[in-house]
Amino acid sequence: MNVIIIEDEQDLAELLAFNMEKEGWQTGIELDGKSGLERVTADLPDLVILDLMLPGMGGIEVCRRLRHHEKTSTIPIIVVTAKGDEIDRVVGFEMGADDYLVKPFSIRELLLRIKALFRRTSLPQEKEKILTRGIVTIDPHRHVVMVKGQEITLTSTEFKLLQTLAERPNRIQGREQLLRDVWGYNNNTDSRTIDTHITRLRNKIGEAGDMIKTVRGFGYKMKVE
Ligand code: CA
């Protein structure tokens, strides 16, 4: 995942970048609105973190222009600003921001928001690819799963669970990680919920269910020959 941070407080921008890189994301920093707009238009990142009070072109204008252009119109934007009143929040959303955080905010909160945002809006492009794992084909774009050419009806959670396992074939995925990746950060679901969903998923996908292996005391993996 590639994130562009448009923020004129360099210390804050670097702190955000440092923490995002720990998540394994690539980051870029731009310190003013005009450079930010140009960088986003050139790089087409998966996410923009946008400060509103910027030298020169303000964040609201940057946001408006990004939304206005076809190439950048669907890139998720999280606005961060020191101006915490309700009017700014409304303006931020009207301009097309996907989420809004008032400074000072915790890094953890921002990361949680980002992860939640990716679950509910556009996914990174790599996730849009059709995945073929043995006899299973997953089409994230059309939200369709086929086993040996037969379409299988799954709930969105089951779909996400299967997709998540399939994206990292033969890798053990812990229950907590699956909870985070599939259910979202604010879900207090007991990890046994996963076991229930896995059971249902296995039943639904028939003989492909054997590909989903339980790793005792830890989690699951999708075994692909
Ligand atoms: Ca600022």
Query: So where are the chain's domains?
Result: 2-122, 131-222
Ligand 1 mean position, distance from CA 125 (Å): 30
Ligand 1 mean position, distance from CA 66 (Å): 18
Ligand 1 mean position, distance from CA 32 (Å): 9
Q: Residue 51: count other Cβ atoms within 10 Å of its Cβ.
A: 24
Q: CATH classification of 131-222, choosing from 1.10.3720.10, 1.10.287.130, 1.10.10.10, 1.10.238.10?
A: 1.10.10.10
Determine the 3-state secondary structure of 11 from DSSP.
helix
Ligand 1 mean position, distance from CA 219 (Å): 43
Ligand 1 mean position, distance from CA 8 (Å): 5
**What local confidence, expressed as pLDDT, does residue 85 receive?**
53
Cα 53 to chain center, whole Å? 26
Ligand 1 mean position, distance from CA 118 (Å): 25
- State how far the Cα of 151 lies from the Cα of 154, in Å rounded to an integer: 10
Determine the 3-state secondary structure of 140 from DSSP.
coil
Ligand 1 mean position, distance from CA 56 (Å): 11
Angstrom distances, CA of residue 94 to CA of 60, 90, 149, 161, 220: 10, 6, 44, 33, 42
Ligand 1 mean position, distance from CA 9 (Å): 6
Does 2-122 match 131-222 in CATH topology? Answer: no
Ligand 1 mean position, distance from CA 54 (Å): 5
pLDDT digits (tens), the chain, 225 positions: 899 999 999 999 999 999 999 999 999 999 999 999 999 999 999 999 999 889 999 998 998 899 888 888 778 888 898 865 555 555 665 666 777 788 888 999 899 988 877 776 544 445 567 899 999 999 887 778 999 999 987 776 788 889 999 999 999 998 888 877 876 655 555 666 678 789 889 998 999 999 999 998 889 999 998
User: Which residue blocks in 56-206 are alpha helix, DSSP H?
Assistant: 59-68, 86-94, 107-120, 156-167, 175-178, 192-204
Ligand 1 mean position, distance from CA 64 (Å): 17
**Predicted TM-score (pTM) of this structure:** 0.55
- Domain made up of 2-122: CATH architecture: 3-Layer(aba) Sandwich (3.40)
Ligand 1 mean position, distance from CA 62 (Å): 13
Ligand 1 mean position, distance from CA 43 (Å): 22
Ligand 1 mean position, distance from CA 79 (Å): 11
Peptide bond into 76 cis (omega under 30): no
